Amino acid sequence: MNGQNHYDNNWIFTGRSGDAIVNFSRGFPVVDTAAVPLEFEGASAVISNAEGELQFYTNGCKIYNDAHELMENGAGLNPGQAYKQFCNLTGFEVRGYPAGNRSTVIIPWPNRPDEYLISHHARDYHDDPEEYGEFSNFFRHYVTHVDMSANSGYGKVMEKNHLLDDRSIEGGDQTLNRHANGVDW
């Protein structure tokens, strides 16, 4: 049984003791080790294609393809102070973007089989960080477009951080549901 028509067939787990990909294509979980070049936090998301094959994933900072390589134009997701503080570090890989567990969602672009949309919320400093804390539920809503037919199937970020809403969003979690017509979201 597949919850999202195979689009959620691969789950990636990262940690200090090793990385794993869990694949549900056979109807039961198959766990395999992997060399994932980044760590996940709340803003992570993974997408497979309609056949259940891993396409790409993000930790909210960067986008990597199924070969675990940085996708062309894949750095610089979620611009702002939080990105600068948590994603723009050198010397070691970052733990991921500091946003909520459902702040990043990837969906297939309707009627475009090799294209995907990443809906993501960028967390940023509040106007008064001393009163509210460094990152106090102050989000902006962005969409990023990925085309997996580019670069011999390794993908390319075609448009990144397209601002949908610049008003402060309380929370940062989101849920997207497929429309009853089976195409739209």
pLDDT tens for 73-87 read 999 999 887 888 888
- Whole-model pTM? 0.84
Tokens representing 75 are 């750095």
Cα separation, 61 vs 43, in Å, equals: 8
Q: What is the pLDDT of residue 94?
A: 55
Residue 134 dihedral angles phi and psi, to the nearest 5°:
-55, -50
Which three-class secondary structure state does DSSP give residue 2? coil
**What letter does residue 83 receive in the DSSP assignment?**
H
Nearest to 97 by CA among 46, 144, 40: 40
Asked if residues 72 and 151 have their Cβ atoms less than 8 Å apart, the reply is yes
Q: What is the pLDDT of residues 13-63, one digit of tens each?
A: 877 777 888 888 888 889 888 888 877 777 889 999 989 999 999 999 999
Q: Is the pLDDT of residue 126 over 50?
A: yes
Q: Is the pLDDT of residue 3 over 50?
A: no
Q: What is the pLDDT of residue 175?
A: 72
